[in-house]
Amino acid sequence: MGITEAWPVLRTTDLAEALTLAEGLLSVAFSYRPSGCYLEAWASDDDELRRLTEASPGADVRWRGEGSASLPAELTWGVANLSQGSEALRAWADITRCYILWHDMKWPAVPELGLGEEYKYAELQVVCNSHTIHCVEWAPEHTVFIHARPGHDERAAWLAAQVGAQVVGPSEEGW
């Protein structure tokens, strides 16, 4: 098992723009399973938790507080396809920091860079209201991250270029 590295390739206040870029990157992927995707968010109070669960009644809630059912809570929801994921992400982004992650995918080979296909470290993430993959701090922008094998800066730059984007900041350790 390895840890990915994540490169930001877009920061924007326009969630539709972030999702459009993600859709373009998914079309560049050698393959991806549309249902190999999930959303994650954190509720710090009862109102956030209520609004998140109303927006996605099937979400799994894991309590992170002191007691067995105390806040904060982490919500995870697996989605069936891009449309369902985009709709849920829009609803969750109006409530709190959250992200959508595609993890069952493969980046294509880039022979001119000496890079083969990548499955193990291939992921794509749209983070809402934060600049980090773990949504640690609130930010007014949404960030699109390409996850790949550590040290594959060239792959991240190449993938971004395929959809008219570029790496816009330093990479961070993934998961």
137-154 pLDDT, tens digit each: 999 999 999 999 999 999
**Token pair listed for 99:** 């992200």
pLDDT at 10 over 90: yes
Q: Is residue 48 part of a domain?
A: no
CA distance 174 to 121: 9
**Domain residue limits at 136:** 5-41+78-90+97-166
Q: For position 2, what pLDDT does the model report?
A: 79
Number of domains in the chain: 1
CA distance 17 to 74: 26
CB burial of residue 11 (10 Å; 0-12, 13-18, 19+): middle
Q: Is residue 174 part of a domain?
A: no
Q: Is residue 65 part of a domain?
A: no
Q: Is residue 111 part of a domain?
A: yes
Give the pLDDT mean for 12-23. Answer: 98
User: For the whole model, what pTM was predicted?
Assistant: 0.96
- pLDDT band at 1; cut points 50, 70, 90: low
Q: Which of 112, 89, 92 is nearest to 102 (CA)?
A: 89
Give the pLDDT mean for 149-172. Answer: 98
Q: Is residue 70 part of a domain?
A: no
Q: Is residue 49 part of a domain?
A: no
